[in-house]
């Protein structure tokens, strides 16, 4: 049976690129998916039945590595987290929220810091301290500014061979960045949509676009989160600098709160783990521990 990957979804059709990467087959999902509450997603690897050269039916969706709700895409390797240095102000708590959610989906984050042209020297130095902290954790951080002539060149190796999605809150410069990477897309940025007097650009479809032997979602996403799917024991696994030390805690199930001989608290005390990261961890832990129970079948 032919295999392929869904590269685009539009008006109830799925566009499956066949295994040879040679042609797109316009497919419908089979009814059975709806019964089983699986709907095919862009990024899914599928088996399909070809009705003719151009049309077919999806018969099977292979198990996903992960999936996002917004944008609705499966099998993501990497999220490029776009945060602005200013307008809106750099927001480490929100960044850690994004990082935590992304890590919990088994997606590799890369941090892009836009609007570095808008900060003064003092603000720049404060932000570069954060950059150093995040780099020490092991994250790649790419500071950038409006019309940065090197941005495309710096992003290409990051995108190479991976399936990526851009994420970040409204107005940080995601569309601007997508346009830098893929000038032909010409997404409407804020100024244009304001001129047209309708808030944001409206997206009619989701598509994975080939760029540098990788794939990039043409729709930014991940604009807000809750931690609904993270259990309290899993949280420190979403903080790489804690994950790598937690074996050294006395108690295997240590939540790094008040337990004795906690390696994480020791690392915070000695300054190896930044205090704000630990505070954010505690805040998220509290959110998880006080959330209302979910009622579901799983
Ligand atoms: N000064 C400066 N302005 C920027 C930079 N990047 C983007 N902008 C401006 O910031 C505004 C918002 O940029 P967008 O690219 O529309 O932001 P977005 O993240 O796509 O926003 P949403 O579509 O609301 O999610 C636009 O007016 C851009 O021109 C930058 O590095 N420096
Ligand atoms: Zn501990």
Q: How many domains does the chain have?
A: 3
120-148 per-residue burial string, b: 16 or more CB within 10 A, e: under 16: eeeeeeebbebbebbeebebbbbbbeeeb
Cα torsion 53, 11, 82, 90 to 10°: value is 180
**What pLDDT score does 203 carry?**
45
**What pLDDT score does 35 carry?**
59
User: Residue 28 burial (CB < 10 Å; 0-12/13-18/19+)?
Assistant: middle
- Work out the average pLDDT over 94-114: 95
Q: Is 158 assigned to a binding site?
A: no
Residue 189 C-alpha from the chain's centroid: 20
Strands 108-114 vs 163-167: parallel, antiparallel or unpaired: unpaired
| Length of the chain in terms of residues written | 298
**What pLDDT score does 178 carry?**
85
Centre of ligand 2 from the C-alpha of residue 82, in Å: 31
On whether residue 295 sits in a domain, the answer given is no
Token pair 């060149």 is found at 153
State ipTM.
0.97
Pocket test of ligand 1: the residue of 117, 152, 176 to mutate, having most ligand atoms within 8 Å of its CB, is: 176
What single DSSP character describes residue 206?
A: E
On whether residue 163 sits in a domain, the answer given is yes
On whether residue 118 sits in a domain, the answer given is yes
Q: Can you list the positions of beta strands (E) in 19-161? A: 24-29, 45-50, 55-61, 67-68, 73-74, 78-84, 108-114, 140-143
186-192: long-range pairs with CB below 8 Å, 24+? 187/218
Chain-wide mean pLDDT for the chain?
88
* 3-state class percentages of the chain: helix first, strand second, coil last, to nearest 5: 35, 25, 40
137-169 confidence digits (pLDDT tens): 999 999 999 999 999 899 999 999 999 999 998
Centre of ligand 1 from the C-alpha of residue 115, in Å: 8
Residue of 292, 236, 296, 290 whose CA lies nearest to 267: 236
Nearest atom (ligand 1) to Cα of 223: 25
Do 213 and 152 fall into the same domain? yes
Say yes or no to pLDDT of 279 above 90: yes
CATH code where residue 129 lies: 3.40.50.300
**What pLDDT score does 182 carry?**
78
CATH code where residue 30 lies: 2.40.50.140
232-275 confidence digits (pLDDT tens): 999 999 999 999 999 999 999 999 999 999 999 999 999 999 99
Examine the fold and report which residue of 16, 32, 63 is the final residue of a domain before the chain moves on.
Answer: 63
On whether residue 269 sits in a domain, the answer given is yes
User: Does 174 sit in the ligand 1 pocket, CB within 6 Å?
Assistant: yes
Do 130 and 259 fall into the same domain? no
Nearest atom (ligand 1) to Cα of 118: 1
169 neighbors 82 (Cβ within 8 angstroms) = no
- The residue contributing the CA closest to ligand 1 atom 1 is 115
Say yes or no to pLDDT of 34 above 70: no
Q: Is 176 assigned to a binding site?
A: yes
Strands 55-61 vs 67-68: parallel, antiparallel or unpaired: unpaired
Range of the domain at 41: 3-63
53-93 confidence digits (pLDDT tens): 899 999 999 999 998 888 889 999 999 999 999 999 999 99
């Amino acid at each position: 049976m032919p295999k392929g990957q869904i590269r685009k979804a539009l008006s109830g059709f799925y566009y499956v690129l066949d295994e040879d990467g040679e042609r797109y087959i316009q497919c419908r999902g089979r009814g059975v998916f709806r019964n089983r509450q699986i709907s095919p997603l862009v990024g899914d690897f599928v088996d399909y039945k070809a009705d003719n050269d151009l049309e077919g039916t999806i018969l099977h969706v292979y198990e996903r590595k992960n999936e996002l709700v917004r944008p609705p895409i499966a099998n993501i390797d990497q999220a490029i987290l776009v945060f602005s240095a200013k307008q809106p102000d750099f927001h480490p708590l929100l960044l850690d929220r994004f990082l935590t959610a992304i890590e919990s989906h088994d997606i590799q984050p890369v941090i892009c810091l836009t609007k570095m042209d808008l900060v003064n020297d003092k603000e720049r130095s404060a932000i570069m301290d954060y950059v150093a902290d995040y780099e020490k954790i092991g994250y790649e951080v790419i500071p950038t500014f409006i019309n940065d002539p090197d941005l495309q060149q710096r992003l290409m190796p990051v995108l190479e061979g991976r399936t990526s999605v851009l994420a970040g809150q409204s107005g940080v410069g995601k569309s601007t960045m997508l346009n830098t990477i893929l000038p032909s897309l010409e997404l409407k940025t804020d100024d244009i949509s304001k001129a047209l007097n309708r808030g944001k650009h409206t997206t009619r479809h989701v598509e994975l676009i080939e760029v540098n032997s990788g794939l990039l979602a043409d729709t930014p996403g991940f604009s807000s989160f809750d931690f609904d799917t993270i259990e309290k024991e899993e949280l420190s696994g979403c903080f790489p600098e804690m994950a790598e030390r937690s074996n050294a805690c006395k108690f295997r199930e240590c939540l790094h709160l008040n337990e004795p001989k906690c390696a994480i608290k020791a690392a915070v005390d000695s300054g190896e783990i930044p205090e704000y990261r630990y505070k954010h961890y505690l805040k998220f832990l509290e959110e998880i521990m006080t959330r209302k129970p979910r009622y579901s079948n799983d």
